[in-house]
Amino acid sequence: MYDLILKNISRFITLTPEEEQYFTSILKIKKLKKKQYLLQEGDITRHEYFVNKGCLRTYAIDEKGQEHIIQFAIEDWWTADLGSFISQSPADLNVQCLEDSELIQISYNDLQQLYIEIPKLERFFRIIIQNAFVAAQKRIINNLSLPAMERYIRFRDQYPKIEQRVPQYMIASYLGITKEFLSKIRAQLTNH
Amino acid sequence: MYDLILKNISRFITLTPEEEQYFTSILKIKKLKKKQYLLQEGDITRHEYFVNKGCLRTYAIDEKGQEHIIQFAIEDWWTADLGSFISQSPADLNVQCLEDSELIQISYNDLQQLYIEIPKLERFFRIIIQNAFVAAQKRIINNLSLPAMERYIRFRDQYPKIEQRVPQYMIASYLGITKEFLSKIRAQLTNH
């Protein structure tokens, strides 16, 4: 049940059997159906989530009601509205299942306690958040500096599994372009 | 000499006098003149930097030779090419002084040792990187969802000190618009 999350953690730190037991004792499984929300704008993000199975999208809605996808998450990824989680304030973001999904959740209070009991986990979360920051910064650079076709090619190369599981119009939203423009790009790539 | 960095750290953790002494013993001051580079693309980022005095910009250069500003940093901010620093691989980014600047630097190896000697500092860096990630994610959302004028207004509100110290064409670059377009926006705002 917790194999995937333990493997995920073992990439950066090594837990003793006792620590592993303590860590898994605070985990809870949450199952959601396709289209259900893990989190909606205005909710307080009470948990950090690890995707054990399934696929989700994180998006913001602008003043005109348009959706903008910030992140996709599939198996072996962490997800949440981190801004809402760390300040325990209302979320700006929505997190919705694109497939039936199984999440492993850690509550805010349990995580604070975990940092104290197992400081190695503080290291783990420092490292994964550093990696997430670097990825977010690369995305800002790409959005500022690369044409849409190149951004699409990189997205496909970087996340081949997501491309196959997510509707095209959501990929267009993630790239900040219309779905018509993405169709054009895909047609151009196919003809080459 | 180290008052500002110690105050910065004390926002999230409390060091004992001994820890404070150990921490400051590994710090080094680096002074640079206006226009000098703290880091250039291709360099390995050997240090994490805290701005004790001055103003810097971090930017990427795209394939057409155009610059895209990712971040400004003034007193009390941390800066580096974090992707390069954590992997000790060549930087994608350039960090240049916009004023004569004084940085406080921590080397990669010293920081790894510091995490072991003073685990509280691992907590500190986890927290500031979380905050940086949330800010980066907000910027991605704003870039996708807000018109340029609104992005400029928010930038000005959020970083009033930077607006005063940085040339307009760099702010345009940060916002992902031309300097002509920024002039138009500013004129519109003045006329209201």
DSSP string, B116-179: HH-HHHHHHHHHHHHHHHHHHHHHHHHHHHS-HHHHHHHHHHH-HHHHHHS-HHHHHHHHTS-H
pTM, two decimals, is 0.91
B154 in contact with A, Cβ within 8 Å: no
Backbone φ, ψ for residue B45 (5° rounding): -80, 100
CA distance B78 to chain A (A): 14
Of B82, B133, B139, the CB nearest to A82: B133
Check residue A175 and give its pLDDT: 93
Q: In the numeric block, which tokens belong to residue B172? A: 């345009």
A147 in contact with B, Cβ within 8 Å: no
Check residue A141 and give its pLDDT: 87
Q: What is the layout of strands, in order, in the sheet containing A55-61?
A: A37-39, A94-97, A55-61, A67-74
Percent of chain B with pLDDT over 90: 86
Counted residue by residue, chain A has a size of 192
ipTM exceeding the 0.85 mark: yes
Model confidence at B38, pLDDT cuts 50, 70, 90, reads very high
Contact yes or no for A145 and B60 at CB 8 A = yes
Check residue A41 and give its pLDDT: 96
Check residue B118 and give its pLDDT: 94
pLDDT along chain A (192 residues), means of 10: 96 96 96 97 97 97 90 95 94 96 97 94 95 91 89 92 93 93 93 79
CA distance B14 to chain A (A): 15
Check residue B144 and give its pLDDT: 82
Check residue B184 and give its pLDDT: 94
Contact yes or no for B123 and A125 at CB 8 A = no
DSSP 8-state symbol, A36: -
What is the rounded average pLDDT for all residues in chain B? Answer: 94
Check residue A144 and give its pLDDT: 83
CA distance B150 to chain A (A): 12
Specify whether the backbone of B76 is left (phi greater than 0), alpha (psi in -120 to 50) or beta: left
Instruction: Tell whether the model's pLDDT for residue B145 goes beyond 90.
Output: no
Q: In the numeric block, which tokens belong to residue A92? A: 């700006």
Q: What is the mean pLDDT of residues B65-76?
A: 93
Check residue A157 and give its pLDDT: 92
Check residue A191 and give its pLDDT: 84
Q: Which residue has the tokens 């980066």?
A: B136
Q: What is the mean pLDDT of residues B141-151?
A: 89
Model confidence at B192, pLDDT cuts 50, 70, 90, reads confident
Of B66, B136, B145, the CB nearest to A62: B145
Check residue B63 and give its pLDDT: 84
Q: Which residues of A touch B155 (CB under 8 A)?
A: none
Instruction: Tell whether the model's pLDDT for residue B107 goes beyond 90.
Output: yes
What radius of gyration, in Å, describes the C-alpha atoms of chain B? 18
Lowest average pLDDT, out of A44-53, A141-150, B15-24, B114-123, goes to: A141-150
In total, the C-beta contacts within 8 angstroms joining chain A to chain B are: 96
CA distance A86 to chain B (A): 8
Contact yes or no for A126 and B126 at CB 8 A = yes
